[in-house]
């Protein structure tokens, strides 16, 4: 679903791990000012329901 990209923007064939996606989500949530309680419910697993 999500692919890795190097610092030059080259998209690679391997996918991001769920742990990395979760880390990105939590970082973005913190930057958006969401509270700690909300962060605990954000996970890569929950993206499966997004459309």
Q: Is 5 inside a domain boundary?
A: no
Confidence (pLDDT) at 51? 47
Per the domain annotation, does 27 fall within a domain? yes
- Is residue 12 assigned to a domain? no
The verdict on residue 50 lying in a domain is: yes
Confidence of residue 29 (pLDDT cuts 50, 70, 90): confident
Q: Is residue 37 part of a domain?
A: yes
Q: The domain containing residue 32 runs over which residues?
A: 17-51
Task: Please give the share of the chain, as a percent, with pLDDT higher than 90.
Answer: 6
Number of domains the chain contains: 1
Q: Please tell me the pTM assigned to this model.
A: 0.62
Residues sharing a CB contact under 8 Å with residue 47, sequence separation 6 or more, in sequence order: 1, 21, 25
**CB contact set of 15 (below 8 Å; sequence gap of 6+):** 1, 2, 3, 4
Q: For residue 49, is pLDDT > 80?
A: no
């Amino acid at each position: 679903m999500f692919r890795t990209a190097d610092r030059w923007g080259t998209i690679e064939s391997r996918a991001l791990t769920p742990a990395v996606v979760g880390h990105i989500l939590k970082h973005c949530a913190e930057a958006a000012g969401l509270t700690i309680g909300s962060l605990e419910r954000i996970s890569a697993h929950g993206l499966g329901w997004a459309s």
